[in-house]
A and B are shown apart, each in its own frame.
Chain A
C-alpha cells in the first residue's frame, strides 16, 4: 500500500498517500444571461484573497469556454512523461473517437515550475464500446476517467465535462491563471480556488477544483465527516484516491444528482440537512420528507466547516456547512451572481454590487442560466 512509502524517508507525502487538511479561498462568478466573460475577472477576485492561500495550490473551473466543441467531452489530462502519455492515449483511442488532441496553451512564468505535460482531448465514446458497456454515455465517460486515474501510472484526468474545463496547478491562484492564459478563455461561469494546505502536496492533481464530468467543486474547509462519507460513497463505485474533502464532496454530489436523481436544492437538504430541532417543528409532510433524507441518506451528511462552490452545466451552487463555520458571501447585480470567501473579492470586480449577503449555514444559493440562455448554450441557435 502506498501509505507505507511515506515511512521510507525522503519520499514527499503526496496527495492520496496521506490526508492533508487545508484552509482556502474560493470565488465564483456567474452570468445568468449566459454572457461570456474572460477569465480576467475571476483572477482579479481570487488574487485579493492572496493571504488565504500559501502558494501550494490554485485552480479554476470555466464553463461555456468550448462552444465550438460543445458536443464533445473535453478531457484535460496531466501526463508525467511521454510513456504515460502514450499509454493514456492508447486507452483513449480504444474507447473514444478523438476529434482533437493538443497541448493546453501555457505561459512560462517563474512562479510555476515542474509542470507535467498538460493535454486536452475533445472526444466522444466509440459507439460500439458504449453499446457493449451497457452504460449510459456519462457513466461510461466517468468510468473511463476513473480507469485512467487508477490504472495508468503517471496520467491523471482532471477535467472531463462538455464545454467546460478545469485549470489547476501548484502555485498561487493568480499565477496559475496567468500560467494557463485564463484571460484568453470566455465563459459564462468561473470558479476559483486558492489553497492553504498544512503539508506539501507537491502534486498538481491535488489542487482544486476537483471535477467529475461537468460537476466541479472548489472547497474551503476541513470536514469532520470525511471518513464516514468516503467509506459510504466508495460502495457506489467512487474510489477515493486523493484523500481530500473536495474529492469526496464532488462524488457525493455526483452520486446524489446523477445516480439518485436529486436536484441541487435537494442535495443541499441532504448534505447540509436542517437540525432535528428544526425538522421536528415542520408541518407533517415536510417533516416526513426531511426525516427521510436524514435517515435514508444520513451517510452523506457533511459536518465540520466547509464552504463550497459547485459548478455544473448551466448553474453554480454555493453552500455553507450548517453551522456556517467558514465565511462565505454572495452578491448579485443584474444578471450577475457572485460568491466568495470574502466580500472584498466581490467588490474588487463589482464595486456597484446591488445586493450582498452572507448566506446562512446550510442555505444553498443556486444561480442558473435563464431558460433562453440555457437553450443557446445547448446549441438551440
Chain B
C-alpha cells in the first residue's frame, strides 16, 4: 500500500446546515478541491488539493465554508518543525529544488514594527491636513546642485530627467506572464489615474498598454525579454533589474505553460518555450559594465528618461549602491529580503538577503557620508505593508517606495503563496483565460486607486501630526523615528534613537 507522507496543511470545513449544494465552490476552484455527489446531493472537499486561497470561502453565498489550519502535527520538536520535516519528505520524493511564491514568510524581525513615529506637542504645532495644504508630491531623479544662469542672470531651471509622483508610492515590477493581462491593466489604469507609476517587470509591455506609457516604468532584465526601441520609447523611465529581494543572485524561470500567444508576442519568445532569465546580466560582470548599460539606455532614449537600477538588499548593499550612484543611474531601487516573487527556490527566498529597513538606512547613510546622496533618488521595496511603513521608509531616507504584495492584495490576492502553480483562483497570477476573466480591471483599478488614496490620507495625517507639511521635509528625517526593543547595533545601523532618548 502506498504511503502518503504529506498530510494537508489545511482543512476545508463545510457547515452542512448552511450548504445549499449550489456547487459554486466546485465551479470556482481551479484546484478541484470541491466535488458534488449527485446521489446524496452533497458537496464534498479534498483537503489535499486546497491551497488556502479562500476563493470558495469568499464566494459561498451562505458562508458555509472556512479553511482552518490542520491540528494534525508531529510530536513537538523545536528543531524539526513540521515544515522542515515535510520539505525533507518532498525532496526525498522528487529529488528537486523546492519552489515557493510571494515573500519570505518566516519569523525574522520586522523592523517597521519596532519603529515609532513622532508627533508635535506644545513647542510646535501639528498641522491639520483637512485645513492646510499637505504635500506628498515627489520628484525622482538626480538633484543637480549646479545652478546655471542665462546672460541676464536668470536661473535656468534645467533638470536631469525626473519622474513626478503625486504620492511617494509606486507599483513594483511584476511581469506580464507572472501576473495576468487584467492585473496589468488594473495597475496601469490605476497609475494613470493616481499620477504614479507601475513597473512592467521583465516580461515586456503588451501592445494594448502602450497608451499608459506616461505612467509606465519598463524593465530591462538579464533575459532582455520584450526589449526593443518601441518599448523604451513608450516608457516614462527604464529600470535595469540587477536583482530581486526574493531571490538575490539568481535569475528567473517562467514555465513554458504560461507562455501563450499573447505572452509570447510580448516577450518576443516562441509559444510554449520556457522564459529563463540568467542569474547575472551576461554583459555586466562588474560595476563599469553596469555604467555602460546605463549609458546605452540613456543614449537609446536620448537622455530624456531616468534610468533606475534595481538591486536586491544583500550584505554589501551600501557599497554597491555607492557604485551605482556613480554609474550614472538616476534612481536606485533596493528590494529587501521579504520582497515578493511569482516563484523562487525556497532556500534562496528564505535565507538570502537582508531586511529592507537595514539596507535602506545603510545605503542612505553611506551615500550621505560620501556626499553623493543628491546624485540619485532611492526607492525602498520588499514588505511595505501600509502607509506607516511608507512614512518610516521615507524618514529613514527613501524618496519613495514600491509596493507589490499590497497591490495584489487590493486586487484580491489572499496570499496563499502558490503563484508558481499558475492556477490563481483570483485571476492574478495565472494565464488561464477563464481564471483571468475573474479579475475585472474596472473593479481592480478602482480598488488600487482606493488603496492609494487611503494611504495618502494616512500619510498626510501622520505628517501633519509631526508638523511637517511637505513630504520632502520628511525624507531622511530620522529624528522623527524612535526604536523600541532594538539593541545598540540595530539602532546605530538604522541611525535612530531609542524611545525615551
Contacts and interface: CB of A to CB of B under 8 A. Distances in A.
Contacts of A276: 133, 135, 137
B473 A289 contact: no
B143 A298 contact: yes
27 contacts: A19-B479, A21-B123, A22-B123, A224-B467, A227-B476, A227-B480, A228-B476, A231-B477, A232-B368, A232-B373, A236-B371, A260-B147, A276-B135, A276-B137, A291-B157, A291-B159, A292-B157, A295-B139, A298-B139, A298-B475, A299-B472, A302-B473, A303-B467, A303-B470, A304-B124, A323-B127, A323-B132
Q: Which of B125, B132, B157 has the most CB of A within 10 A?
A: B157
Contacts of A275: 133, 135
Contacts of B158: 292
A296 B371 CA distance: 15
Contact of A277 (B133, B143, B144): B133
A303 B473 contact: yes
Contacts of B373: 232, 235
Contacts of B137: 276
B448 to A, nearest CB: 23
A24 B158 CA distance: 39
Nearest to B372: A235
Contact of B368 (A223, A225, A234, A305): A234
Q: Which of A3, A22, A232, A295 has the most CB of B within 10 A?
A: A295
A379 interface: no
B478 interface: yes
A325 interface: yes
A301 B159 contact: no
A227 B374 contact: no
B217 to A, nearest CB: 18
Nearest to B474: A228
Contacts of B157: 288-289, 291-293
B472 A298 contact: yes
B478 to A, nearest CB: 6
Nearest to A278: B133
B368 A227 contact: no
A295 B474 contact: no
A222 interface: yes
A305 B125 contact: yes
A325 B133 contact: no
Interface string A47-76: 000000000000000000000000000000
Contacts of B478: 227, 231
B155 A289 contact: yes
A194 B373 CA distance: 36
Nearest to A23: B123
A229 B141 CA distance: 19
B475 A228 contact: yes
A232 B365 CA distance: 11
Nearest to B157: A292
Q: Which of A221, A291, A298 has the most CB of B within 10 A?
A: A298
B102 interface: no
A305 to B, nearest CB: 5
Contacts of B473: 224-225, 228-229, 301-304
B126 to A, nearest CB: 9
A297 interface: yes
Interface string A316-333: 000000110100000000
B469 interface: yes
Interface residues of A, number: 46
Interface of B: 120, 123-125, 127, 132-133, 135, 137, 139, 141, 143-145, 147, 149, 155, 157-159, 162, 368, 371, 373-374, 466-470, 472-480, 501
Contacts of A222: 123-124, 467
Nearest to A292: B157
A209 to B, nearest CB: 20
Contacts of B132: 323
B143 A325 contact: no
Q: Which of A225, A277, A288, A301 has the most CB of B within 10 A?
A: A225
Contact of B143 (A21, A227, A297): A297
Nearest to A243: B479
A298 B473 CA distance: 8
Contact of B479 (A227, A266, A292): A227
A226 B147 CA distance: 24
Given A227-B477, A296-B145, 5 more contacts: A223-B124, A227-B476, A229-B473, A299-B374, A299-B472
A170 B150 CA distance: 47
Nearest to A235: B371
A254 to B, nearest CB: 14
A262 interface: yes
A228 B144 CA distance: 18
B127 A260 contact: no
Contact of B124 (A19, A277, A305): A305
A296 B477 CA distance: 18
A236 B465 CA distance: 30
Contacts of B474: 225, 228
A21 B121 CA distance: 11
A222 B123 CA distance: 7
Contacts of B466: 224
A15 to B, nearest CB: 16
Given A224-B467, A232-B476, A275-B135, A260 B145 contact: yes
Nearest to B471: A298
